[in-house]
A = this chain, B = another copy of it.
Amino acid sequence: MLHVNEADVKRLLPFPKAIDLVREAYVRLAQGEAANPPRVLLSVPGGASMFFMPGHVYGQGSVAVKVARVNAGNPRVSLPTVLLTIYAYDATTGVQVAEVEGEWLTAARTAASTAVATDILASKSVRVLGVFGTGMEATTHVPMLMLVRDFDRILVYSRNKGKRELFAEKMSRDLGITVVTSDSPERVARESDVIVTATTSNTPVFDGSLVKAGSHVNAIGSATPEAREVDTKFAKRSRVVVDSIAQALATYGDIIGPIREGAIRESEILELGEILNGKMKVVHRASDVTLFKSGGLAVLDAMITDYVLGKLVPQERAKGARA
């Protein structure tokens, strides 16, 4: 059995490839050519919450299940808030073929998903990218989004001044782009053409009435029933697109909230895969704003895991041949 660590995944998964794989996974799922059963949640009273997320793209050699464990108190014992492990099995026999460290893979597939959505939903002439959050998701989103649009400038907001300054310094150095920190979420909301919220917030991170006409917002952080990253005002103004309608209605506070408040209707929500495969259409007017809300689909993890394993297995075989 292969043990695939974060460094392996980073090395084997170029960002443009991640975007292609994620786009294909969405299309295959929308065409009924993949399995993405509802994720299962198990919450330990006073302990971790765990998600079990199996997925498979028909015809691929492996089935993957991601097991996510979340405890906001973990940093107090020097552990990450979220622990992610992906187990892969031979699709025919069921033999376990790999255990994959899932943090980087998840951040990359989430950013790739946002890039796919932004590519299809945002105007071609966007110039300013606004980022809320400075964690691993934010870090992967900036270079991934630069692959689908030419930004002049990145605006970053985080409540923690030190973190947003470090993030800006690292991003501008690594990516050769102007990154400006902002001490107000309002400024980021007002000045950005594309926004990413990559936070663990339970309450909206900006005032939705401030966002410019024609802008596109990706809300990809908190995705539990009680959590909100965007407010109802913004959802009401937007064309709303999600990664999975079923999952959104079951678990995303940013969708459930506005529906409950009567601001949006279930029937108006679009699914990214259905847009990509041409079954649903987004009509753009210059005054429209768009919202892409995602909580992450197991089938994206399965698609990328299968790709990474495909790259590793020949290398492992070659090692064996040399040994």
Given the complex of chains A and B, what is the CA–CA distance between A58 and B89 in angstroms? Answer: 30
Quick check: is A52 within 8 A (CB to CB) of the other chain? Answer: yes
> A280-318 toward B: CB 8 Å interface, digit per residue (1/0)?
000000000000000000000000000000000000000
Which chain B residues lie closer than 8 Å to A95 at the CB level? 69, 79, 83
A22 CB to nearest B CB, Å = 20
Do B38 and A40 touch (CB < 8 A)?
Answer: yes
Given the complex of chains A and B, what is the CA–CA distance between A303 and B235 in angstroms? Answer: 44
Which chain B residues lie closer than 8 Å to A43 at the CB level? 35
| In the complex, residue of chain B having the shortest beta-carbon distance to the beta carbon of A60 | B44
| In the complex, residue of chain B having the shortest beta-carbon distance to the beta carbon of A58 | B45
Chain A residues with a Cβ under 8 A of chain B: 35, 37-38, 40-48, 50, 52, 54-56, 58, 63, 65, 67, 69-71, 74, 77, 79, 83, 85, 87, 89-96
Do B63 and A50 touch (CB < 8 A)?
Answer: yes
Knowing A42-B56, A44-B58, A89-B67 touch, does A50 contact B83 (C-beta < 8 A)?
no
A135 CB to nearest B CB, Å = 18
Interface centre among A47, A54, A70 (most CB of B within 10 A): A47
Given the complex of chains A and B, what is the CA–CA distance between A96 and B56 in angstroms? Answer: 23
Do B71 and A93 touch (CB < 8 A)?
Answer: yes
Do B79 and A48 touch (CB < 8 A)?
Answer: no
Do B56 and A91 touch (CB < 8 A)?
Answer: no
Do A47 and B91 touch (CB < 8 A)?
Answer: yes
| In the complex, residue of chain B having the shortest beta-carbon distance to the beta carbon of A302 | B42
